[in-house]
Each structure stands twice: as structure tokens, then as C-alpha cells.
Amino acid sequence: MSSEINCIALIGKQNNPLYIKNFSNTHPDLKYHYIAHTSIDVIEERVSNGPKNLDLYIGLLYAMEDLAVYGYITNTRVKCVVVVSVTDCVIRDADMKLIFQKVHAAYVNQVCNPFYNLDSQKSLTSKAFIRAIDAIGLTKPTRTTLDI
């Protein structure tokens, strides 16, 4: 994949960061924290302005410098953000959707833990969850872009 996942971020419904993982070595973690934070507005705007039956997958939120930020929102208003680096290629939505669905599944597994407090604003520290996210971020998916 020419556009690798640089960062996966989960944001709670009170706009608190749940989990932010940086997979790149080009940018510091801080950058992705900022990006995840700024994505909140864009997601909220899309959700409020969008149609009522808006897909969970929101799509490209914005591209900033060399990073493209994609968004996804669960029914419980937990926001997922995936940052990929911009190369001059088309990124297929189906592939992004797949990534998000995996992230969503990982989060659902986390929520299924009866000891997990859904309203807690603390970051996720579950090992299983972190492993799952790492697996999503580090796998090299099959060719997902159409090179131009």
C-alpha cells in the first residue's frame, strides 16, 4: 500500500481521546493528537449537516500537509480517525471502510468487557484492544490504491 496508516485514533463521545496510536516515524505523537482533536469538529459538522441516514463511514475529513484524515463515527458517537499519508494516488473508500470496520470491531470487543466503564473518560489501556489496533495499523493490506 502506498499510503500507510500513520495513525489510528478513537475519540470518546465527550470528545476525549480514548486511544491514539502513531504508526509513523515521520511525525511526533503530538501531531496526531492535534489532528485527532481537530477532526472532531469536521466529523461533527459532517454529521450535523449530513443526511440523517449518514453512513458510519464519513470519508475524507481533510488533507493537511502530507496527511489525509479519514473519519468514522459509531452509533454511540465514538469517533474514529485514521490518518494516512498523502501520496498522489486514489485511496479507495472501500479499503478505508474496511480499516474502520476493523477498528470498530476492536472497540466493540473492548466495550463488551463488563468491567469496562463506558462513560469513563480515561484512555483505553486494555492489552487486547491495543493488540487489535496494532494489528490493524501494522498489517500491510493488499493493494488498496490505484496508482496514477
Partner 1 sequence: MNTYPAEYLLHPVPVLAVYGLSADQTSTENEKIPTQKDSEESVAVISSSPQTRPSSGRQTPGNNALNLRSSLASTLHSLLHNKHDFTLYEATRYLHQNSANGAQGIPPFRVLSISKDYTLPTPSSSVHSPLSPLTPQSPLYPDGIMSPLWITKYLETPSVIVGFYELWDWSSEPGQGSKPVRETGPLGAHVMMDPTERENDVALAQEINDKRKYFQDKGIKFSAVILLKNRHTEDPSVEERLNLIRKQSGLDAKNSFFTVAPGSHHDLQEFVNTLYRCLYESALQYYSNVIKKLRKKKSKLPSPASSARPSMADLTSNEPQPLSSQGWQLRYDLKIAFFQELKQDIEAALKTCVVAYGLLGDVLAPTSSVTQGLVSLPARGKRWTEARALADCINIKICRFHLFLNDHTAAFSQLNGHLHLFQTYSSAWGMGEQSFEYWEWLSKQYRIFADVIDSAIQAGFKIPLPTAYLTNNGTANVPGSPLLGGSNNNLSSNSQVVGCNPGAIIQHPGFYYHLAAMCCAERRRRFLDIERSEAAKAAAANKESVAPSQLEVLLSKERQVDHSSLTIELLTKSYEQFKKYRNGRMTLYLAAEIAGTYYETGKFEMALKFFERIGKTYRKENWHMVLTSILRWSLRCAKELGSWERAVECLIELMAEELPMAKQKRADIQRELFDVLYHNEASNTIKHAPLTIAMDQINSFLKCSVQFLNQTSFVDTPELYQISLSTDKNSPVLPFRFNAMRVLFSEPQYNCYLEDAGLDEEMKKLDLIDFSKDMTKATTGDYVDWFTKKVDLRVTEHQTRVFQGQIISKDCDGIKIVGVCLDLISPQWNVALSYSFDKLSDDQTVTRRKWLEPSGDPSGRPKFRFISGRGELSAIKITQRPPRIQLSIHQFSPALLDEDFEMCVTVTSEETERIDVTLCMEIKNAEGQAGDYAWFKEAGDKSLESARTFVIGVIEPGQSVSTVVYIHGTGSVGPRLVNLKAEYVLSSASGKAHVPKVEKSESVTIPFVSPFETTFELCAQGEDQGKTVPFDLKRTEKWLMVAAIQCCSTWNLDIESVRLEQEAFEHPYTFLKLLSKMDNFKNQVWKTSHVYNANYLFRLSTMDLTEAMPSVPVGNIVVQWKRHGQEGAYSKTVLKAPALEFQQLSLVVIADIPSELYMGEPFTLTYTIHNPTINLAEYTASIELSDAFVFSGYKQLKGRVLPLSRASYQYTCYPLVAGKVRLPRLKVIAKQQGTEKEVPVELLAVGVVVTLDNALDQQVRQTTVEQQPTLVFVGAKRHY
Residue 22 CB, nearest approach to partner 1 (Å):
10
The CA–CA distances, whole Å, from 134 to 8, 75, 78, 93, 99 equal 9, 23, 19, 21, 12
The distance of closest approach from Cβ of residue 90 to partner 1 in the complex, given in angstroms and rounded to an integer, is 5
- Residue of the chain from 52, 119, 127, 140 that contacts partner 1 (CB under 8 A): 119
Q: Which residues contact 25 (CB under 8 A, 6 or more apart)?
A: none
CA distance 58 to 146: 21
* Interaction residues for partner 1, span 95-114 (CB under 8 A): 95-96
Q: Kindly state whether residue 116 participates in binding partner 1, applying the rule CB under 8 A.
A: no
Instruction: Map grid coordinates 461533527 to a residue.
Output: 44
By CB under 8 A, tell whether 14 contacts partner 1. Answer: yes
Among 42, 56, 98, 111, binds partner 1 (CB under 8 A): 42
84 binds partner 1 (CB under 8 A): yes
Q: Which is nearer to partner 1, 26 or 45 (CB)?
A: 45
Torsion of CA 30, 87, 95, 16, to 10 degrees: 20
Alpha-carbon separation of residue 66 from 50, 84, 108, 110, 118 (angstroms): 26, 9, 31, 32, 34
- Residue 49 has φ and ψ, to the nearest 5°, of -90, -15
- Is residue 90 part of the contact set for partner 1 (CB under 8 A)? yes
Residues forming the site for partner 1 (CB under 8 A): 14-17, 20, 29-30, 33-34, 37-38, 40-42, 45-46, 51, 55, 58-65, 68, 84, 86-96, 119, 121, 145-146, 148
